[in-house]
Structures are given as C-alpha cells and as structure tokens.
C-alpha cells in the first residue's frame, strides 16, 4: 500500500487557511499517512486533544515548527521536528518571537500609511503569529488601497509581489524585525530533543541568490540534521520549480537526511496541496520510511 506523508503544513494559527483539526480532516481525505504542522514561530496547534483527533483518523502527527531567522542578512526558515512540545524554554522563546511579530505589525502599519496604504491593524493583531503574508494579503485586498496599487504596480499585485516591492529590506515600508540566529534556533530545538532541518533551500537560491556554498555554510552553522529537499517551489512569476533531485544529491554529499513538505497554506490552484495530491510528485515507500525513521 502506498504511503503519503507531508511534513510541512500551516494552519490558521499562523498564516494558513485551515484550523489544526481541518488540516487533519484534509489529510485524511487525501489519504495522507503522516503529517506535521509547522506554523511560523508557534506550536500552539499542539495539545493532547489534537493528537487524539489525529489518532482517531489513523494519522500520525509529528510535532513541528518553522522558525524565522536571519543568515547573511537573508531571512531563512528552520524547521524543528519531533521535539517535546511541552518544553518550557521552547514555548517561552516562541512567545517572545510572537510578541516581536506584533510589534512589527504596528511599526510596519505606520510605514505603509506613509506610502499610501492602509491595513486593518486591529484584526491582524488578533492573529496569534502574524506574518508579512497576513499584512500583505490585507493590503492588496482592501478597496481603499486599489487606487494606490494601480498607480504603483499598474495592476493588483499578489501578496508576494507586494512584500518584495514594498515590505522587504531596501523597500519603502521595510521595518527591521527582531530575529533569532539560525544557530540559536538549532540549539533551542535540540535542547527540546528535536531534529533540526533547513526549510526549502530551493527558495534561498531562487529568491536570494544563495550559492551551494552559502547553503553548506548555513547547515554547518546549524549543525543541521537534514534539509527539506523534497519540495515544489513557486517563484514570484508563478513558475513551478522542482529541484528535488539536486537537493537530495546535496544532502547525500553532505551527510544530511531529507524531508518532504508541501508548505501548504491554502488551495490556490498553483501550490502543492496537503500530500501533494494535486501534483505528480511522489516518493516510494522505502524513501518515506527512511524519512520517518530519521525524524525519530
């Protein structure tokens, strides 16, 4: 029997569309055997009730998190897996990072106002782990921003385009966020008995011009256990890039294990859905079992 796993899924506790239980329902519907919810800088999805619910659907739920860091002035994401989700130090640090996200929200709202855009700060502030994607999504869908968007872009941009043009470093509404180093994140995950994985290296090469050497320096700095080699990337031009073969080779050459994740946020007809069921991307059962064994 074919096994399907998906170890990188977001819920509405960070910037996904579905609640944690709805994610499990979707995984069950898609025939997925094992999942991990990896919300941004928060593990609030995890409690005994959620594990019981997953078990009732015959789905294995592996604790996960995606933590935002900076390396060489570039934002990189570190995945943690199979850690003790009740660990006080981990929960405390993630709480501080979430508070920093809300400070960022208020500061970026001021900058956006200065360049002609408004956002619903009050509603966004209620999101547990508010992200740039939340802010940009609100900005590009607000009727009162339409005139300014058309003036600046010539059309209504995607939230990704808005982030890259308006909010990122060097852009008019850039605000420096309090961050944690990759090394600190790795130590935090490991002291909670977890595994450290570099998220989607394909993104850093395509978005930030990282070389293989940059990625190697990063995983060495992390003392990473693995990389998210099996990943389908969609760039700012909505081009689909599958460099999984390249990153699996990189992992083998550098004694890293690999993971697989859709990075599912919502169904948009373009990005991979839970379990990659809307793609032809598959791993054989032997490879899947190796991934699961490596996370334990």
Which of 112, 135, 167 is at the close of a domain? 167
Mention every residue, 6+ apart, whose C-beta is less than 8 A from residue 255: none
Find how far residue 90's CA is from the centre of its chain.
18
Rounded CA separation 197/230 (Å): 12
Other Cβ atoms closer than 10 A to 143: 6
Phi/psi at 51 (5° precision): -65, -40
Place of tokens 């607000």: 142
Rounded CA separation 29/24 (Å): 9
Domains contained in the chain, number:
2
Phi/psi at 218 (5° precision): -65, -50
pTM: 0.86
The CATH number of the domain holding residue 266 is 3.20.20.140
pLDDT 10s digits, 123-173: 998 887 788 989 999 999 999 999 999 999 999 999 889 999 999 989 999
Which of 116, 139, 167 is at the close of a domain? 167
Which of 133, 167, 201 is at the close of a domain? 167
The verdict on 278 and 131 lying in the same domain is no
Predicted confidence band at 109 (pLDDT cuts at 50, 70, 90)? very high
pLDDT 10s digits, 1-32: 679 999 999 999 988 999 999 999 999 999 99
pLDDT 10s digits, 47-66: 999 999 999 999 999 999 99
The verdict on 73 and 211 lying in the same domain is yes
Note the pLDDT of residue 75: 87
In a domain, 287, yes or no: yes
Rounded CA separation 118/111 (Å): 10
Mention every residue, 6+ apart, whose C-beta is less than 8 A from residue 82: 62, 63, 64, 193, 194, 195, 295, 296
């Amino acid at each position: 029997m074919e096994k399907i796993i998906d170890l990188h899924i977001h819920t509405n506790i960070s910037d996904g569309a579905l609640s944690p239980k709805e994610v499990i329902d979707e995984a069950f519907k898609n025939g997925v055997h094992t999942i991990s919810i990896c919300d941004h800088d928060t593990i609030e999805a995890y409690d005994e009730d959620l594990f019981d619910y997953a078990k009732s659907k015959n789905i294995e739920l592996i604790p996960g998190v995606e933590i935002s860091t900076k390396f060489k002035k570039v934002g990189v994401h570190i995945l943690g897996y199979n850690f003790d989700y009740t660990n006080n130090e981990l929960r405390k640090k993630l709480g501080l990072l979430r508070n920093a996200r809300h400070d960022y929200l208020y500061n970026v709202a001021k900058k956006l106002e200065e360049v002609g855009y408004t956002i619903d700060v009050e509603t966004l502030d209620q999101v547990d782990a508010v992200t740039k994607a939340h802010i940009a999504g609100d900005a590009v869908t607000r009727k009162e921003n339409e005139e300014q968007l058309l003036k600046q872009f010539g059309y209504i941009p995607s939230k990704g385009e808005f982030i890259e043009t308006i909010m990122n470093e060097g852009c008019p509404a850039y605000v420096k966020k309090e961050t944690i180093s990759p090394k600190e994140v790795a130590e935090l995950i490991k002291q909670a008995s977890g595994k450290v994985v570099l998220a989607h290296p394909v993104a850093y090469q395509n978005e930030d011009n990282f070389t293989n050497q940059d990625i190697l320096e990063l995983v060495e700095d992390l003392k990473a256990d693995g990389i998210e080699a099996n990943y389908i990337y969609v760039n700012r031009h909505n081009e689909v890039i599958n460099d999984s073969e390249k990153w699996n080779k990189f992992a083998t050459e550098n004694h890293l294990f690999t993971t697989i994740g859709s990075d599912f946020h919502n169904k948009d007809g373009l990005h991979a859905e839970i379990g990659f069921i809307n793609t032809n991307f598959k791993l054989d059962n032997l490879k899947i079992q190796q991934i699961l064994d490596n996370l334990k």
